[in-house]
Copies of this chain bind each other. A is one copy, B any other.
Amino acid sequence: MRPIIPDYLAEVLGDVESDTSGEPAGYIPELAAADPERLGAAFAMIGGEVYGAGDFDIEFTIQSISKPFAYALALSDRGFDSVLAKVGVEPSGEAFNEISLESDTGRPLNPMINAGAITVHSLTGAEDLKPAERVERVLHGLSAFAGRRLRMDEAVCASEMENAHRNLAIAHMLRSHDILTEDPRPIVDGYTRQCSVLVTTRDLAMMAATLANRGINPLSGEQVVPEAVVRQVLSVMFSCGMYDAAGDWATQVGIPAKSGVAGGLIGALPGQIGIATFSPRLDRHGNSVRGVSLFERFSSDMGLHVMGVPAAARAVVRSDHVVGSGPSALRVLQLQGGIGFAGAERIVQEAEGISPSNVRVALDLTRVHSIDDVARRMLLEVARRLTLDGHEVYLVDPESIIPDPDPGDGGRVTVVDNVGHADLHTATAGGGQIG
């Protein structure tokens, strides 16, 4: 069976490819020299599967996308009280490089603006760390989110330090308010190193999936940060992650997100999925032009809005076994619960493992109590493709969870009441309801 989700991703990338508006970040030569045509996208499921299309294995610097993860590390390392005493959680409604300190305390308004992120960097690791140890702590933490050891782009880092006037200004201002309590320059240096970590779109999707998965990396199974930290981080991303376009994003896309000046963009939907895109041309807010378009499309196509009513996201595939043997052997995928996009993805993944020799395949919906639009369409597409691959497909659907199923365009499906009935209809033409 051909893979459904990469096909979908490739199609959507194709749709946005022609948009060449915006400009790559130009403030340092290394970023300005980025190939503006690069385009990639990846989905990382909380079950660990990653789907990608385009340049999703090309490395680029993480930049501001490091902010929510460093925030998670600081909350985890120092505790909520210590971090909240130094960095607020209020949206600033301002651009990323605004200083936006509280007038009385000098506390940065939130950890997504540079003032907050520089402070957060200083709060990672234990209190007595030396600057280089702190950088190593952050690199280690980001790597844990990604599930592989990451490294820095020294050239970008050096170039950024040469142009770090504004961040130095911010850091000295924070120092004057005792928000920073050390020499500002090594902190800005460390923060710049944090921003220079190289990631692929795949890495970013996996990092987002770790947030979506209660802080547990879906591949390594490591609990990188506690679940309460994840809720905090996702909330702040939702309100503050897209700078002065935060409200538009929250309403239209509805996925906690964060963008980086190198062209990356991530989103994490709790309990479901981590998404990442990469395209270097930026809009006036500093967000990737095509990245924003992709997320709008994903949110709309897959009903991923955090304010949408969710379907259950776990253990959708209850079992996958073969009944009988020989030509009449039946491969049965027993499904359960409520199925949304994320659940459907699990089914797709399972279906892709079906060998050509399993001619007869049953999708058993007996224990499924609900299914949303996108999941229904995905299941029918699974059926269609299995048909095209030469399989006979049965839908075991005693409660008509999917009424009048029509896979369309060459697909064929036989609806039966229970798995036993599938045996009786080996040679029956598809599409008919059998009671």
A residues near B (Cβ < 8 Å) are 1-5, 43, 45-47, 49, 88-93, 99, 109-110, 165-166, 168-173, 175-176, 184, 212-214, 227, 230-232, 234-236, 238-240, 244, 246-248, 250-251, 254, 256, 269-273, 301-315, 318, 336-343, 345-346, 348-349, 351-352, 354, 367, 369-375, 378, 381-382, 385-386, 388-389
Contacts and interface: CB of A to CB of B under 8 A. Distances in A.
A226 to B, nearest CB: 13
A225 to B, nearest CB: 13
B313 A5 contact: no
Given A91-B246, A91-B247, A352 B272 contact: no
Given A89-B248, A238-B307, A251-B236, A338 B312 contact: yes
Contacts of A341: 272-273, 302-304
Contact of A374 (B165, B303, B339): B303
Given A1-B354, A236-B250, 20 more contacts: A1-B382, A4-B381, A45-B346, A90-B247, A91-B91, A91-B247, A99-B99, A166-B172, A235-B305, A271-B313, A272-B342, A273-B341, A302-B374, A310-B312, A310-B340, A311-B343, A312-B339, A314-B370, A337-B337, A337-B338
Nearest to A173: B169
B172 A169 contact: yes
Taken together, the copies of this chain in the complex come to: 4
A351 to B, nearest CB: 6
Contacts of A184: 165, 168
B309 A312 contact: no
